[in-house]
């Protein structure tokens, strides 16, 4: 009979030792707390020295591939739109006091807002100048197209080549002279460029149907704001179609068309008249209550 010791088991040459259980580990020796102030100071100095010698955490550098992709990717700037931003926020963003005489649509009764956005906005104003062709200049031909944004900034201004013989430049009213049409762009080029600008935008003009007819273009009626047919403006002229000169004088205090016309200035005046009454105008189109325009 084989005796098996209580500490091990022998079977097929393999010895399995029992694990010591229930034995408590000896408590690690902990140094006693310092009893003197000098010992505390020495410990504190030692800790500060150890912290200073520690190296700063290593910052992982981006891979070369990521660096190349970042360098190759151009920086895209978003197009800026102000239509849905409160007026006071735009003024503050540009560093303009709300107590300033400067407004969103003009400076001291001017037609252009200084330091304003110069790109294409959701609303654009248009005006065209014509010259006469045919017998005694009885027919009209497009000679100049000007477009401004809602702040009065010129975004498009081109003279147009007239294929027919010009019999009357109408300089006294159009401001067009023979020298202006030298090297002018072809009608088809101007027509295409204007169509691209007007697409899906609010078109502001005075008797704007004449401008569209001259350009052989159509525009959705819901996107047209014609200052010659807006009811409150007609009321200012005793129920008759108002001229841009009258609206500019009464509503803006600015004299336009005193001599030769400028399609840029006319487009600016038309746009400012619209912008001054934009809220009530748009509200009336949505079925809201019409607000009378004070003369």
Tell me, yes or no, if the pTM score tops 0.85. Answer: no
Q: Average of pLDDT values for 251-269?
A: 85
Q: Per the structure block, which two tokens stand in for 225?
A: 């704001």
Q: Per the structure block, which two tokens stand in for 180?
A: 């202006």
- Dihedral of alpha carbons 77, 79, 83, 84, sign: negative
Q: Average of pLDDT values for 192-208?
A: 97
Distance (Å) of CA 173 to CA 52, 128, 130, 294: 83, 12, 9, 30
Domain ranges of the chain: 117-285
Whether pLDDT at 77 is above 50:
no
Could you tell me which residues are beta bridge partners of residue 141? Answer: 131
CB 141 within 8 Å of CB 159:
no
Q: How many CA atoms lie within 13 A of 211 on its CB side?
A: 25
Average pLDDT, the chain: 76
Q: What is the pLDDT of residues 112-138, one digit of tens each?
A: 888 899 999 999 999 999 999 999 899
Q: How confident is the model at residue 82 (pLDDT cuts 50, 70, 90)?
A: very low
In angstroms and rounded to an integer, the radius of gyration of the C-alpha atoms of the chain is 40
Strand locations in 134-243, DSSP E? 139-149, 154-159, 166-168, 202-205, 224-226
d(CA 149, CA 263): 14
* pLDDT in the model for residue 44: 66
Whether pLDDT at 39 is above 90:
no
Whether pLDDT at 41 is above 70:
no
CATH architecture, domain 117-285 = 2-Layer Sandwich (3.30)
d(CA 208, CA 125): 9
- Give Cβ neighbours of residue 104 (< 8 Å, ≥ 6 apart): 87, 90, 91, 113, 116, 151, 275
- Classify residue 124 as exposed, middle or buried by CB count within 10 Å of its CB (0-12, 13-18, 19+): buried
**Range from 64-68, 74-78, 147-151 carrying the lowest mean pLDDT:** 74-78
Residue 219's Cα: distance from chain center in Å? 23
């Amino acid at each position: 009979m084989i005796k098996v010791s209580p500490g091990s088991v022998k079977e097929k040459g393999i010895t399995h030792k029992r694990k010591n259980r229930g034995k408590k580990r000896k408590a690690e020796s902990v140094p006693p707390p310092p009893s003197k102030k000098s010992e505390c100071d020495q410990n504190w100095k030692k800790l500060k020295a150890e912290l200073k010698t520690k190296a700063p955490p290593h910052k992982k550098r981006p891979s070369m591939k990521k660096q190349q992709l970042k360098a190759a990717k151009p920086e895209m700037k978003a197009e800026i739109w102000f239509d849905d931003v409160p007026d006071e926020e735009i003024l503050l963003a540009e560093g303009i006091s709300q107590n300033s005489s400067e407004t969103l649509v003009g400076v001291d009764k001017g037609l252009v807002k200084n330091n304003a956005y110069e790109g294409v906005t959701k609303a654009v104003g248009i005006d065209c100048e014509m010259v006469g062709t045919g017998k005694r200049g009885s027919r009209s031909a497009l000679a100049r197209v000007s477009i401004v944004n809602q702040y009065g900034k010129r975004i498009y201004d081109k003279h147009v080549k007239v294929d027919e013989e010009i019999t009357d430049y109408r300089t006294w009213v159009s401001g067009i002279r023979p020298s202006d049409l030298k090297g002018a762009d072809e009608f088809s080029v101007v027509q295409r460029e204007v169509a691209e600008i007007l697409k899906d935008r609010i078109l502001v003009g005075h008797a704007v149907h004449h401008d569209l007819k001259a350009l052989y273009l159509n525009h959705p009626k819901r996107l047209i704001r014609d200052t010659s047919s807006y009811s409150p403006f007609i009321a200012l002229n005793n129920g008759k179609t108002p001229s841009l000169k009258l609206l500019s004088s009464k509503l803006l205090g600015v004299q336009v068309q005193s001599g030769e016309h400028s399609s840029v200035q006319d487009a600016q005046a038309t746009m400012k008249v619209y912008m001054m009454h934009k809220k009530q105008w748009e509200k009336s189109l949505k079925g809201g209550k019409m607000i009378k325009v004070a003369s």
